[in-house]
Every structure is written in structure tokens, then in C-alpha cells.
Amino acid sequence: MSVIYILLTISIVVAIGFFVAFIVAVKRGQFDDSYTPSVRMLFEDELVKDKPEKTILTKEE
């Protein structure tokens, strides 16, 4: 039974270590994207086709 407590403690310590490393990486700007905005203007925009308006035909009396 004591092995379960040891493994649980080790897993919590490892999880906290990964969480702290993630927070430090975010604070230092590790995940900031500085490349994509500079080349975004080089990509061609997709053309949006206009849909024809639907007309309602009424029966003339």
C-alpha cells in the first residue's frame, strides 16, 4: 500500500514540474509567433463568390 503513496507523490511532483516549466515558457515568450504575421501578406486571399439572389415566383391570378 505504501508503494501507491510513493507513486502518487512522484506523479504529482512531476506534474507540478511540467506545469511550472510551461508557465515559465509562456512568460518568456516561447510560444509567440513572430514569423506568420510577416508573411501573411504574401498569401493570396480566398475569393468569395457572390451567391445569386433567389427570387420568389408568385402565381398571377
pLDDT per residue as tens digits for the range 2-38: 999 999 999 999 999 999 999 999 999 888 877 777 7
Where are the alpha helices (H) located in the chain, listed in sequence order? 2-27, 36-39
How much is the pLDDT for 50?
Answer: 63
User: So what's the pLDDT on residue 47?
Assistant: 59
pTM of full prediction above 0.75? no
Residues ≥6 apart with Cβ < 8 Å to 25: 31
